Amino acid sequence: MAVPRVTPPRPEPPVPPAASNDVVVPIRPKPAAFPAISSVTRPIVIEEDVVEYLVRASVEQRWRILSRVAMATHVEPVPASAPPPSTERSSMVVPAPTPSQRPQLELVDQTHDTVPPPPPPSVAPPPPPSVEPPRLVAIAPPPPPPTKSAVDPAEKLFEAMHELTLLESGPAGASFCLRVALAAVPCLAGLVHLRDPKTLELVVVHAEGPRADGLLHTRTPLTDSLVARAARAGKPTVATYGAEPDAEKTTCPRHTFFDPWSVVVVPVMHGGQLLGLLEMIDPIDGNPTGEQAQGALSYVAERLGGFLAERAAGLDSAG
């Protein structure tokens, strides 16, 4: 069994004299209840369990325990004739006491024990409550301000025909109406005829299209099959050329100039009389003229008929 080395108490530092009548108290005086261990001249035998307790005890508990051990193992001093025991650690021999001589010590912790209690088991803090991230709500952009819709073709045609009242002669009004009709119903070529009151023939006063100028001032009798058919119907008449069963058997001489496949003959009427004729040759969209296009052409022909009735004297310039 290893014998621990007893550490003597630390000497108290000298206290300087007080400059006044104050009482000087040592910083940490030794408790009076502790016996002086330095008076023990014999090695102290300490049990193994006591050593373990000393290791875990505080400083004051160690002093208290060692004092009690010294008091319990105190024996009479050795006679002078006996050689003094050696102080070297290598020659120190401690006789083992008998069980009857071994004192029984009761180790009781004092109430002023300063050994800190074991720390409580660490408990992990509860996780923070889960907070849902704010939801992103897509906000639809405001609808664009209402824009003005495209101009209705009928309204556009109505506004275009306002300029007709500013013209003075019949041929000028006929030429204007043919250009408006071609803008409303695009075609390869167009012809406008006015009636000569002297000969009762239709005279071409304006032509639009490739090489159409060659037909200017040409005359067509009122007895022409297409002219008579349109005048009797009083509305646009569609003539189709080709091998179809309902196609025209022969091509009109004035239409042969364009080698057409479809022609719309629009009569210009006023008061039941035929005053002129509009002819639209080969629609650009490749389809025969429909009802909507025929309605636009009828409106142009009606306005032209009213214009010619007011300026009957202008028809003389068509010849």
Residue-wise pLDDT tens digits, 155-170: 888 888 888 988 889 9
pLDDT at 45: 63
Tokens standing for 146?
A: 């209402």
d(CA 12, CA 193) in angstroms, rounded, equals: 144
* Cα→Cα distances 270→179, 278, 301, Å: 21, 14, 10
pLDDT tens for 276-319 read 999 999 999 888 788 889 999 999 999 999 999 987 644 554 44
Is residue 270 within 8 A of residue 309, CB to CB? The reply is yes
| CA torsion angle 237 241 243 244 (round to 10) | -20
Is residue 275 within 8 A of residue 305, CB to CB? The reply is yes
Look-up of token digits 């209705």: 152
Buried b / exposed e over 56-88, threshold 16 CB at 10 Å, is ebeeebebbbbbbbbeebeeeeeeeeeeeeeee
- The answer to which of 41-55, 127-141, 238-252, 255-269 has the lowest mean pLDDT is 41-55
Is pTM, for the whole model, over 0.75?
no
Which residue ranges make up each domain of the chain? 37-72, 153-318
Q: In what order do the strands lie in the sheet with 237-240?
A: 219-221, 201-208, 187-196, 273-283, 262-270, 237-240
When pLDDT is cut at 50, 70 and 90, the band that residue 67 belongs to is confident
Is residue 261 within 8 A of residue 240, CB to CB? The reply is yes
Tokens standing for 53?
A: 């307790």
DSSP 260: -
Fold of 153-318: Beta-Lactamase (3.30.450)
Is residue 161 within 8 A of residue 303, CB to CB? The reply is yes
pLDDT at 79: 56
Listing DSSP states for 301-313 in one string gives HHHHHHHHHHTGG
Tokens standing for 261?
A: 């496949």
